[in-house]
Amino acid sequence: MRSKLYEGKNLRPGARTLWEIQAWALRPPVETATNLYISARDRASACVESSFAAREAITDEHSLRARQAAVKEAFLRCIGGLPCEPSFVSAEVTSRTERGSFIAENTVLETRPGYYATCTVYLPKGFDSPRPAVLLLIGHTDEGKADPEYQYVSQLFVNAGFIVLALDPFGEGERFEHYDLPNDFQPIQGCSGEHDLMDWKFKLMGVSLARYFVSDALAALKYLKSRPDVDASRVGLTGHSGGGTQVSMLMLAAADEFACAAPCAYISDTKAMIDEGVDPDNEMIWPGSLQAGIDYADILLSMAPRPVTVLSNRHDFFPREGALRACAEARNVWERLDLPDPPELVCSESEHAYGETLAQAALRAFSRALLGKEITQECEKRFSFEPLAREELFAAKGCILKYKPHIRTLQREANELLARLRQRPRVSGNELSDKAFRLIDGGRIRPGEIRVYKEGICAPYAYFCIVFRSEPGIWLNAVLLRDMRLEDGPLPTNVMFWPGGVARIAEHSNLIHKTVSGGKQALILDLPGEGALLPAKLGGTDMYISWSTMYKLNSYLIQLGDSLAALRTRGVAAACEALKTSRMTSEDICLYSEGDMDKYAMIAALLCGVKAALSGNCQSYEEIVAGEFHDQTHTHAWALPGALEAFDSEDILCELKRRALLQ
């Protein structure tokens, strides 16, 4: 065998075992380090620059309205539109709690036919009607609207004469939809657990869970405005953390419905979020939003010329420097257009909370905007906070499923959406290939030249550790193994990839031996984020579970209109093309995959016209959506937004069989 590194020389023994080859393969050239994160950051930076230029072009009211309309349209497109025209079907006040200065009406809203949400409406005593109102959206907390933090905000506003509607979001408070009634048990981690579980299902079908948060909140707003004791022209919007996210989404989707807004502990900017590796929750991940040019300053501009107050904490994990930049940029637009009430930024010396300082700042801002006056010292002095017991704020016996066991759930919604997708005509041939190509953004595949960085002989094997680019900014790492007794000419190649990549060569020794002894060569491939290409941990997180490093990286890619699954599928396809152009293989290429990586092999085989030998040990996308539960440890590996909107798994398998590419 001839050396690739030393032309004209023969290969020399360089290892005794596959484990030693594995050790060499885990030391690729330094330029491959952190390439996945740097690529995502660079792509995001380009989108941020484009977005900034679009906002800089706002010079008059016409261009402002055009930008607002374009951003609204893009946002709704990113989340898959709204499930129906915002409205509410019915409202049932199930209990009342009275305190000295207010009455709390615990209410079950039918936000869409058969779909229910729980809320508490706080009514002030001693004020004339109709009154200005505030829609309060709740962040991540098991207690939902009964959390003392949100009770404080509600009571502060109602004490000043505002009507307040505090809404339980899906998966919190009284709205746990996976509740096990026979055992009186909630099997999923509270707070955002149901959010994550359901959002991945919806993203596979080309929509986002965010659309249901927006739909529920708009239905609650319609109910609030329909009340005779509410002045529909004077409604403000506020919420903290995940509630601040919901506020931002409503500002993007329906800013005209509100007289003012105060998002708390969410507003930052894309640069700060990515630079500091902040955890985005699933409903914050709007597919393609960065690609569409939506940045946080656009959220603030959506309210123009109505007043908006940004509430921030100095020690929050949402980066304050991003909030400062977003507010400054939005204020510049207000000033260029000579608009009244430019955005105000209020910061507290706190961690992540809607604390007293920020709540009072929101009250002062809303008093100016909705009452036309400053809040009086007398009003502030007479406020005394006393939280109600959780049971006093129950609208549905503590769990909506206990109150209405046969409600329409989001799981049912997902199943019905899946059924509609399955009714479409089956796709095959070139149409299927075109859809697969668009789904993974195949135009980015541009394999670079293969470069050998380590080579040698190990018993019967000749081995070559190689790197090459699959697309701009993305490296792949691999080991090519073949029988040392064969000549240098091209051989049939089995391209092998599995979780862990080259870090698991030794444990696959039997498979490799069978391949090489059968007259083929084996290419063991590290896909982005695997093996030697595993990125460093971001922000002290775990690598895989919870809001992990891989979750974060995938989140950034999804907002760029991409995904780690699509990027890895492009990597497999690029490996096939790189092998062909390097003359290191014959035309006979077969993809060997394991687990969820079967999904990459199926699509790459279709696009490249190569064979695939699948492990069969992975859930189809249809099974993930239809099943009540799925494991979320490796969602980054398989989450491919819009996959089921493009085709069924069976479509690809049938086409591979038809083309005799399924081995």
> Residue 565 is part of a domain; what is its CATH number?
3.40.50.1820
Note whether residue 562 is domain-resident.
yes
As a whole number, mean pLDDT of residues 330-347 equals: 96
Proportion of the chain above pLDDT 90, given as a percent? 83
Do 200 and 232 lie in one domain? The reply is yes
* Domain-terminating residue out of 420, 444, 478: 420
* Domain-terminating residue out of 378, 400, 420: 420
Do 542 and 617 lie in one domain? The reply is yes
pLDDT for 534-555, tens place per residue?
998 887 778 887 778 899 999 9
Note whether residue 198 is domain-resident.
yes
pLDDT surpasses 90 at 437: yes
Do 476 and 362 lie in one domain? The reply is no
Do 105 and 123 lie in one domain? The reply is yes
Torsion angle, alpha carbons of 293, 297, 302, 303, to 10: 180
Q: What pLDDT does residue 544 have? A: 86
pLDDT surpasses 80 at 436: yes
pLDDT surpasses 90 at 82: yes
Among residues 188, 165, 187, the alpha carbon closest in space to that of 118 is found at 165
Comparing 32-41, 230-239, 302-311, 648-657, the range with the smallest average pLDDT is 32-41
The CA distance from 269 to 273, in Å, is 6
Do 168 and 315 lie in one domain? The reply is yes
β strands within 161-224, DSSP E? 163-167
Do 439 and 587 lie in one domain? The reply is yes
pLDDT for 216-263, tens place per residue?
999 999 999 999 999 999 999 999 999 999 999 999 999 999 999 999
Among residues 337, 346, 269, the alpha carbon closest in space to that of 300 is found at 269
Among residues 500, 483, 479, the alpha carbon closest in space to that of 492 is found at 483
Q: What pLDDT does residue 246 have? A: 98
Do 459 and 335 lie in one domain? The reply is no
The answer to whether the CB of 198 falls within 8 A of the CB of 411 is: yes
Q: Say whether 163 sits in a helix, a strand or coil.
A: strand
Note whether residue 100 is domain-resident.
yes
Among residues 458, 476, 460, 479, the alpha carbon closest in space to that of 468 is found at 476
As a whole number, mean pLDDT of residues 568-580 equals: 95
The answer to whether the CB of 317 falls within 8 A of the CB of 353 is: no
Note whether residue 625 is domain-resident.
yes
pTM over 0.85: yes
Note whether residue 10 is domain-resident.
no
Q: What pLDDT does residue 381 have? A: 66
How far is Cα of residue 183 from the mean position of the Cα atoms in its chain? 32
The answer to whether the CB of 208 falls within 8 A of the CB of 287 is: yes
pLDDT band with cut points at 50, 70 and 90 for residue 107: very high
The CA distance from 121 to 158, in Å, is 10
pLDDT for 362-394, tens place per residue?
999 999 999 999 886 666 667 889 999 999 999
As a whole number, mean pLDDT of residues 459-476 equals: 94
Do 361 and 467 lie in one domain? The reply is no
Do 549 and 630 lie in one domain? The reply is yes
Q: What DSSP state is assigned to residue 284?
A: G
pLDDT for 112-135, tens place per residue?
999 999 999 999 999 998 999 999
Give rounded-to-5 percent helix, strand, coil for the chain.
45, 20, 35
Do 415 and 509 lie in one domain? The reply is no
The CA distance from 613 to 593, in Å, is 7
Question: 10 burial class (0-12, 13-18, 19+ CB within 10 angstroms)?
Answer: exposed
pLDDT band with cut points at 50, 70 and 90 for residue 87: confident
Q: Say whether 651 sits in a helix, a strand or coil.
A: helix
Note whether residue 324 is domain-resident.
yes
Comparing 63-67, 496-500, 550-554, the range with the smallest average pLDDT is 550-554
How many independent structural domains does the chain possess? 2
pLDDT for 160-193, tens place per residue?
999 999 999 999 999 999 999 999 998 988 788 9
The CA distance from 243 to 318, in Å, is 14
Note whether residue 4 is domain-resident.
no
pLDDT surpasses 70 at 145: yes
Do 459 and 389 lie in one domain? The reply is no
pLDDT surpasses 90 at 78: yes
Note whether residue 40 is domain-resident.
no
Domain that holds residue 356: 53-420
Comparing 38-47, 539-548, 595-604, the range with the smallest average pLDDT is 539-548
Proportion of the chain above pLDDT 70, given as a percent? 99
Do 261 and 387 lie in one domain? The reply is yes
Q: What pLDDT does residue 649 have? A: 87
* Domain-terminating residue out of 376, 401, 420: 420
As a whole number, mean pLDDT of residues 596-622 equals: 95
pLDDT for 513-527, tens place per residue?
999 999 999 999 999
pLDDT band with cut points at 50, 70 and 90 for residue 10: confident
Q: Say whether 330 sits in a helix, a strand or coil.
A: helix
pLDDT surpasses 70 at 72: yes
